[in-house]
Amino acid sequence: MSYILSTLIFIPLLGAVALLFMNKKSTGLIKGWAFAGAMVNLAMSLPLWWQFESANPGMQFVEKMAWVPSLGINYHLGIDGISILLVLLTTFLSVICIMASFTVDKRIKEYMFFFLFLETGMIGALTSLDLFLFYIFWEVMLIPMYFLIGVWGGKDRIYAAVKFFIFTMVGSLLMLVAILVLYFMNINAGNEATFSIIELYNLNLAPNAQFWLFAAFCLAFAIKVPMFPVHTWLADAHTQAPTAGSVILAGVLLKMGTYGFLRFAMPLFPNAVEQFTPFMMTLAVIGIIYGALVAMVQKDIKRLVAYSSVSHLGYVMLGIFALNAQGVVGGLYQSLNHGISTGALFLLVGVIYERRHTRMISDFGGIAKVMPCYAAIFMIIMMSSIGLPGLNGFVGEFLIMLGAFMASKVAAAFAASGVILAAAYMLWMYRRVFFGELDKEENKELKDLNGLEWAYLLPMVFFAFWMGVYPASFLNKMEPTIEQWLVQVEQKRVACAELGEQSKSLAMILNEDAD
């Protein structure tokens, strides 16, 4: 058994705990330590990339230990083609975020503590194969993010932090009830008590029994994604969060939602997915267009990027619910792209905010003249976000549109309009910020990118190109898993459909067999 995943989970936690014992005045040591911790974790995660057997669609690097044996709870980890790249994205973005946080001047020790703690939660959630363990990590992620927004955020940070927390809590608590119902349905079917997702995949439930269970999982993940109409926490959280908080929120935390659909909600309840698909696709398309339209009218650059996230995640959901190889692979690929391009956009917004302490579009204009390198990088990243061929966004969007077109031509047609809108709001914003007259006095003295900013922006640009020019190196890793995933979902759907509708409610089934 390899312990590489446990190592990835616990290195940041150990690093975070060690930080607590450092003198808060030695900021250099604290920054260095946190950076080293994240770097070590990134280095430790690289073997995953090489040792991962791309052709093997199953779980790899599996670890399993009994945790609470009487309840069938295990410490069970593993990754497959769905999660490996998300784990790598997490370790990569954590390093970038910690570099981008070197300029934080307030309570750096606690800041770095929460950041490393957050990394533990994220990697844990992405690698858990036990629903109980997953739930723990899923909730644990909330705590550091809550503090990052609440302590280091902007003016309305308290409102944003609480809203973020409660929205997510409502969804995840209902999911907890669904997890327990599923657990007992599995026991009542004559199986051993288990929270293992691998074993629960084999439980065939009648289609109408799946409906409410899927609804509960779906709500939890849809809030996290976030899908229209439960997206309202996102704009506040993003706008108020510190730069690195926004990056990690967009880059990884939102992906937890799409990951949850792929790992849990959809393979567990395929018949409910079938029923929900038109509804979910409609919401996804509404999200794409609505997010883009709202982004267009924003005055604050960061808020604009936040709403563009709603639009982008709409594409991801559209691809996933197309339920064909192109759509699902595209959705997963777009999740990664969004982590790179939107993450980088938030970093870029942070760069200008640190110089001017404002993010209002109207406060800028013509700054390409004083910050040419910044303008160039911004242009590349913006193009990757819009989906210019040759950059990463194009590959994901193209695959999604292909998949969506095969599933529903109407949805694809509407979604395509979102691409045009994306170009509109991004380019319009870019023109107002970077071109035109350099008429504000304060902007005339702006300095171009410094060394640190280059250091954390260049890797992002590098990936934007790599993922755009040679996507095969990434797609190879995910395709076998997704193909098997689709087969599994379809087989299970057929098997469950044969069971027919059951006449009893969930409560009656549980109650009866318990007696």
Partner 1 sequence: MNFQLSDLATLTPHMVLVGTALLVLMVEAFGHGNRRPEATWISLLGIVIAAATTGMVCHENSVGFSGMLAADGYTAFFYVIIYVVGALTMLISADYLKSERREHGEYHALVLLAMVGMMLMAGATHLMLFFLALETMSIAIYALEGVESCFKYFLLGAFASGFMLYGIALVYASVGTTQIHAIMEQLATVKGIGESPLLLAGVALIAVGFLFKVAAFPFHSWTPDVYQGAPTSVTAFMATGVKAAVFAAFFRIFTIAFPATAPIMTSAFWVIAVATMTMGNFAAIAQTDLKRMLAYSSIAHAGYLMVGIITATPEAGVGMLFYLLTYAFMNIGAFACIIMVSKQGEGRTNLDDLSGLGFKYPLLGAALTIFMFSMAGLPPTAGFIGKFLLFKAAINEGYIWLAVLGVLNSAASVYFYLRVIVYLYFKPRPEDAPTGLRAGSAITIATAIAVGVILVLGVLPGAVVRLAEAAVTVF
Q: Which of residues 74-113 bind partner 1 (CB under 8 A)?
A: 107, 110
In the complex with partner 1, which residue's Cβ is closer, 146 or 374? 146
Neighbours of 265 (CB within 10 A): 26
In the complex with partner 1, which residue's Cβ is closer, 67 or 201? 67
Question: Residue 207 CB, nearest distance to partner 1 (Å)?
Answer: 18
Q: How far is CA 22 from CA 25, 116, 197, 316, in A?
A: 9, 15, 40, 42
Question: Residue 162 CB, nearest distance to partner 1 (Å)?
Answer: 6
Question: Helices 472-499 and 325-356: crossing angle, nearest 10°?
Answer: 130
In the complex with partner 1, which residue's Cβ is closer, 72 or 393? 72
Q: Which two tokens stand for residue 143?
A: 């705590």
Question: Residue 176 CB, nearest distance to partner 1 (Å)?
Answer: 6
In the complex with partner 1, which residue's Cβ is closer, 142 or 283? 142
Question: Residue 435 CB, nearest distance to partner 1 (Å)?
Answer: 39
Q: Rounded to the nearest 5 degrees, what angle is found at the Cα of 454, between the Cα atoms of 144 and 341? A: 60
In the complex with partner 1, which residue's Cβ is closer, 25 or 107? 107
Q: Which two tokens stand for residue 433?
A: 């910020």
Q: Which of residues 332-361 bind partner 1 (CB under 8 A)?
A: none
Q: Which two tokens stand for residue 312?
A: 């982008």
Question: Residue 513 CB, nearest distance to partner 1 (Å)?
Answer: 9
Specify whether the CB–CB gap between 205 and 273 falls below 8 A. no
Does position 189 interact with partner 1 (CB under 8 A)? The reply is no
Three-state secondary structure call for residue 42: helix
Specify whether the CB–CB gap between 311 and 387 falls below 8 A. no
Does position 23 interact with partner 1 (CB under 8 A)? The reply is no
Among 56, 473, 476, 511, binds partner 1 (CB under 8 A): 511
How far apart are alpha carbons 189 and 208 in whole angstroms?
Answer: 16
The whole-angstrom distance between residue 34's C-alpha and the CA centroid of its chain comes to 22
> Among candidates 386, 388, 390, which has minimal Cα distance to 466?
390
How far apart are alpha carbons 16 and 26 in whole angstroms?
Answer: 15
Per-residue contact flags (x/-) with partner 1 for residues 147 to 186, judged by CB under 8 A? x--xx-----xx--xx--xx--xx--xx-xx--xx-xx--
How far apart are alpha carbons 155 and 237 in whole angstroms?
Answer: 12
In the complex with partner 1, which residue's Cβ is closer, 16 or 457? 16
How far apart are alpha carbons 340 and 324 in whole angstroms?
Answer: 24
Does position 415 interact with partner 1 (CB under 8 A)? The reply is no
Q: How many residues bind to partner 1 according to rule CB under 8 A? A: 41
Residue 219 belongs to what H/E stretch?
helix 207-224
Question: Residue 166 CB, nearest distance to partner 1 (Å)?
Answer: 6
Q: Which two tokens stand for residue 441?
A: 């006095």
Question: Helices 372-386 and 451-469: crossing angle, nearest 10°?
Answer: 30
- The DSSP 8-state label assigned to residue 387 in this structure reads T
Tell me the chain's radius of gyration from C-alpha atoms.
22
Per-residue contact flags (x/-) with partner 1 for residues 222 to 261, judged by CB under 8 A? ----------------------------------------
Question: Residue 150 CB, nearest distance to partner 1 (Å)?
Answer: 5
In the complex with partner 1, which residue's Cβ is closer, 19 or 348? 19
Does position 195 interact with partner 1 (CB under 8 A)? The reply is no
In the complex with partner 1, which residue's Cβ is closer, 33 or 114? 114
Does position 21 interact with partner 1 (CB under 8 A)? The reply is no
How far apart are alpha carbons 255 and 335 in whole angstroms?
Answer: 6
Among 22, 39, 59, 140, binds partner 1 (CB under 8 A): 140
Question: Residue 68 CB, nearest distance to partner 1 (Å)?
Answer: 5
Burial call 11-20: b when 16+ CB within 10 Å, e when fewer: bbbebbeebe
How far apart are alpha carbons 231 and 25 in whole angstroms?
Answer: 39
In the complex with partner 1, which residue's Cβ is closer, 133 or 361? 133
Q: Which two tokens stand for residue 207?
A: 């289609």
Among 46, 65, 68, 487, binds partner 1 (CB under 8 A): 68
How far apart are alpha carbons 34 and 173 in whole angstroms?
Answer: 32
Question: Residue 182 CB, nearest distance to partner 1 (Å)?
Answer: 10
Q: How far is CA 445 from CA 375, 387, 438, in A?
A: 15, 33, 11
In the complex with partner 1, which residue's Cβ is closer, 186 or 204? 186
Q: Which of residues 110-139 bind partner 1 (CB under 8 A)?
A: 110, 135-136, 139
Question: Residue 242 CB, nearest distance to partner 1 (Å)?
Answer: 13
In the complex with partner 1, which residue's Cβ is closer, 217 or 398? 217
Backbone angles phi, psi at 233, to 5 degrees: -70, -25
Does position 283 interact with partner 1 (CB under 8 A)? The reply is no
Among 43, 46, 71, 452, binds partner 1 (CB under 8 A): 71
In the complex with partner 1, which residue's Cβ is closer, 120 or 342? 120
In the complex with partner 1, which residue's Cβ is closer, 222 or 395? 222
Q: Where are the beta strands (DSSP E) in 37-91?
A: 60-68, 73-79
The footprint of partner 1 (CB under 8 A) covers 67-71, 107, 110, 135-136, 139-140, 142-143, 146-147, 150-151, 157-158, 161-162, 165-166, 169-170, 173-174, 176-177, 180-181, 183-184, 506-512, 514
